[in-house]
């Protein structure tokens, strides 16, 4: 608010701001007038430091004592105060404080102050609302115009424009924006050119030969100090620039990664695989597997060769009215060659071949599996005739469920059923499926029209193992002592993948030992490694444990040797392999397609020979846990004889199926029946154990010789055991100990 001095009497006085007097006298910058602003508005500029002497005198005459004390704070010099006082007294005559008037005005305000309210409003309001910095108080209350400075703060606004220019400023068109951008670029170029010129001048100045080295150094220091003073944040500008560069590069890399993931045809990024999927087409020239490389599965190979022949020569079959089968399901244990057969089809069919795995159709997004199936078959239809191979089809073709937890779980298999044999027929698209869990497949998938042919790929028999071993042994250098027949008989139950692994492990071991060729020793060692795990370097240092192991394994070998229906002995060793401390191996003389009751009982007797030997030699209190695996196998064999194979007279010829697939297992057997079954299993195991003990009691001397030979040589083959038990010449030290 302004500090005003009020007049007393009939004669009016000017309301004058004391702060303006202080600013003018003290020469303050805030009180100066903007002469250019006055000239812009067409007014004559006056000196901002000129004070109206008459007004100043009037103000001084009506100042109170406290106001004079405030005026003393203005730090006026004595000469300024004397000049102002004298000039004011000489210019304006003295007016008395009181003035008597005999004429009355219309209002009390006019009688008291000497002017009306309208005159006051007309003289004061223009001063308050004017836009200039210098005001002229023209009022009938004063004898001359009063010029003073008045500071007004306001917001910066654009000057008022009308017409086309205002429209351009509010909504510039494309041309105006382009011109503005071009002008800005020109300014930036000029700025860069100016900075270049300044840098060149600085280099010239610093390289002036007329300056001494000390002067040049001072000049450099002065420039550096000036630069730092101009840019106080220069100390952190380097870190800030590095951070900005790293942030920009990270953003660019992220954008490029997203673009390549979405649109990259060759890369197949994760986003593309989730949203778009992949179609794995295999060209026939990229496959180096043919039907000649498939051994041991002649029946399955014959079925697939017929399909390949149909693809190569369809007229041969269609002339008789035959149709191409829509699907072939390959069923068999793991490692029997199902995928190898599919690769052979891809290598010999000479048609487009598409392959996919069952788990590839499952994604986190609902509906992705069904869309993958549609995309796969739509691509295959465009390339018909062709072959589509789905490995591990049980992942996508499992039985449909009614679970409320997975309401969309059946979409993928329903789409697969529709594509294979739906309303629209797929002409020329053959589906190959491979699984080792046929029972888990949906029944609708197994019906004719979808999988017309079901091919069993079993474990190879003796002839098949010979063919497979001959195939893989032909790829390595073998020694002359390798017996293909012995090796095939000693690998009963091995799949094609197991036989390939045996040959490969033997070749690696021979290469490590720097052997000239792969001998029979390496092949048998590799077979034992596949069966029981890698052997330890030597027997355990505990002699008591070695003695127990020797009698235990000797008991197995001795019972097997004297049991008529048992499998022939192949090798016995006390070198630890895997979890076992010893091992006794058997090799059947021929391939068995069925097992008799006598053979099963002899096998049980052989398994019981280890525990019976421990009890007879060391006593019932010294038996060990080493027979746990033997007892488990014997119990399983006796249980199957009673419950599945009908080999018990008391239980009879009936089977008892146990379904443990459900969460709740219900015993459907009557209590009496369960007791009879348990009694029969116990009887078979007890009788087998007693027969094994009887054999060992009869041949205690041979048992002791066999155990001592195992402690000495660690490993004995079938010939060594036969010579020892026949009482002939001492055993020759063979290569097994090496």
For residue range 486-507, list pLDDT tens digits in order.
888 888 888 889 999 999 999 9
- The distance of Cα 467 from the centroid of its chain, to the nearest Å, equals 45
Instruction: Give the model's pLDDT for residue 663.
Output: 52
The full 3-state SS of 312-331, as one line of letters, equals: HCHHHHHCCCCCCCCEEEEE
CA gap 640, 147 in Å, rounded: 125
Please give the average pLDDT of every successive group of 10 residues along the chain, which has 738 residues. Answer: 38 45 44 42 43 53 50 52 51 52 71 73 54 45 49 52 51 61 72 75 72 77 70 58 84 83 51 49 66 86 86 79 82 89 84 82 72 85 85 83 66 84 72 89 86 88 90 90 87 89 92 91 87 71 85 94 89 83 83 86 94 93 90 94 91 77 62 90 95 94 91 86 77 46
Instruction: Give the model's pLDDT for residue 137.
Output: 45
Burial class, 479, CB count within 10 angstroms (exposed 0-12 / middle 13-18 / buried 19+): middle
Report residue 334 as tokens: 């793991």
Instruction: Give the model's pLDDT for residue 14.
Output: 43
CB 289 within 8 A of CB 282: no
CATH topology of domain 462-531: Helicase, Ruva Protein; domain 3 (1.10.8)
Pick the closest to residue 527 from 496, 571, 473, 491 (CA basis).
Answer: 491
**Residues paired with residue 328 on neighbouring β-strands, in sequence order:** 432, 453
Q: What CATH number is given for 543-658+667-737 in this structure?
A: 1.20.58.760
Instruction: Give the right CATH number for 281-456 from 3.30.1490.190, 3.90.79.10, 3.40.50.300, 3.40.350.10.
Output: 3.40.50.300
CB 596 within 8 A of CB 565: yes
Pick the closest to residue 638 from 611, 592, 607 (CA basis).
Answer: 607
CB 426 within 8 A of CB 419: yes
Report residue 373 as tokens: 């199936």
Pick the closest to residue 50 from 34, 32, 36 (CA basis).
Answer: 32
Active site residues: 553
CA gap 165, 171 in Å, rounded: 10
Instruction: Give the model's pLDDT for residue 8.
Output: 36
């Amino acid at each position: 608010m302004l500090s005003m001095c009020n007049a007393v009497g009939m004669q009016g006085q000017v309301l004058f701001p004391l702060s303006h007097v202080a600013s003018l006298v003290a020469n303050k910058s805030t009180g100066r007038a903007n002469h250019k602003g006055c000239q812009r508005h067409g007014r004559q500029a006056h000196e901002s430091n000129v004070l109206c002497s008459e007004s100043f005198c009037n103000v001084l005459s009506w100042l109170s004592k406290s106001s004079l004390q405030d005026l003393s704070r203005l730090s006026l010099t004595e000469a300024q105060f004397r000049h102002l006082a004298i000039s004011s007294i000489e210019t304006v005559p003295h007016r008395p404080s009181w003035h008597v008037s005999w004429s009355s005005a219309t209002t009390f305000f006019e009688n008291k102050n000497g002017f009306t309210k309208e005159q006051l409003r007309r003289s004061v309001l223009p001063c308050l609302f004017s836009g200039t910095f210098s005001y002229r108080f023209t009022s009938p209350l004063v004898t001359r115009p009063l010029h003073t400075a008045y500071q007004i703060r306001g917001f910066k606004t654009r000057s008022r424009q009308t017409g086309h220019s205002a429209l351009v400023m509010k909504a510039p068109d494309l041309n105006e924006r382009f011109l503005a951008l071009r002008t800005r670029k020109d300014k930036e170029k000029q700025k860069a050119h100016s900075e270049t010129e300044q840098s060149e001048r600085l280099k010239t100045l610093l390289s002036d030969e007329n300056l001494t080295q000390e002067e040049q150094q001072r000049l450099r220091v002065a420039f550096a100090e000036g630069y730092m003073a101009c840019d106080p944040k220069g100390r952190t500008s380097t870190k800030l620039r590095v951070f900005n560069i790293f942030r920009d590069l990270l953003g660019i890399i992220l954008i490029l990664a997203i673009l390549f993931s979405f649109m990259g045809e060759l890369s197949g990024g994760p986003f593309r695989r989730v949203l778009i999927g992949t179609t794995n087409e295999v060209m026939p020239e990229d496959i180096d597997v043919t039907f000649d490389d498939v051994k041991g599965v002649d029946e399955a190979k014959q079925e697939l060769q017929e399909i390949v022949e149909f693809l190569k020569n369809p007229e041969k079959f269609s002339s008789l009215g035959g149709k191409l089968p829509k699907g072939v399901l390959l069923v068999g244990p793991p490692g029997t060659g199902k995928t190898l057969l599919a690769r052979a089809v891809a290598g010999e069919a000479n048609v487009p071949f598409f392959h996919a795995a069952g788990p590839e159709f499952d994604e986190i997004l609902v509906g992705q599996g069904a869309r993958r199936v549609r995309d796969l078959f739509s691509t295959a239809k465009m390339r018909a005739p062709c072959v589509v191979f789905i490995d591990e089809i049980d992942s996508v073709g499992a039985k449909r469920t009614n679970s409320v937890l997975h309401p969309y779980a059946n979409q993928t298999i329903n789409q697969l059923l529709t594509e294979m044999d739906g309303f629209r027929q797929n002409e020329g698209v053959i589906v190959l499926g491979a699984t080792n869990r046929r029972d888990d497949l949906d029944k609708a998938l197994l019906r004719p029209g979808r999988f017309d042919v079901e091919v069993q790929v079993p474990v190879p028999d003796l002839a098949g193992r010979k063919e497979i071993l001959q195939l893989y042994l032909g790829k390595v250098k073998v020694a002359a002592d390798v017996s293909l027949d012995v090796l095939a008989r000693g690998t009963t139950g091995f799949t094609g993948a197991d036989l390939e692994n045996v040959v490969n492990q033997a070749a690696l071991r021979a290469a490590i030992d720097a052997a000239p060729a792969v001998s029979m020793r390496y092949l048998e060692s590799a077979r034992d490694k596949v069966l029981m795990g890698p052997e330890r370097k030597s027997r355990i240092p505990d002699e008591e444990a070695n003695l127990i192991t020797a009698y235990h394994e000797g008991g197995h070998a001795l019972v097997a040797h004297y049991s008529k229906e048992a499998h022939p002995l192949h090798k016995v060793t006390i070198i630890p392999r895997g979890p076992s401390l010893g091992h006794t191996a058997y090799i059947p003389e021929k391939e068995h397609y069925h097992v008799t009751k006598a053979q099963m009982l002899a096998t049980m007797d052989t398994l019981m020979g280890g525990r019976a030997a421990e009890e007879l030699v060391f006593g019932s209190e010294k038996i060990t846990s080493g027979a746990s695996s033997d007892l488990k196998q014997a119990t399983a064999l006796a249980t199957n004889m009673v419950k599945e194979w009908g080999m018990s007279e008391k239980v009879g010829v009936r089977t008892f199926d146990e379904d443990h697939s459900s969460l709740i297992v219900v015993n459907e057997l009557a209590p009496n029946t369960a007791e009879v079954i348990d009694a029969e299993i116990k009887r078979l195991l007890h009788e087998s154990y007693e027969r094994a003990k009887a054999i060992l009691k009869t041949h205690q001397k041979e048992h002791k010789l066999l155990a001592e030979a195992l402690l000495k040589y660690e490993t004995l083959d079938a010939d060594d055991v036969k010579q020892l038990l026949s009482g002939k010449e001492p055993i020759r030290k063979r290569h097994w100990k090496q």
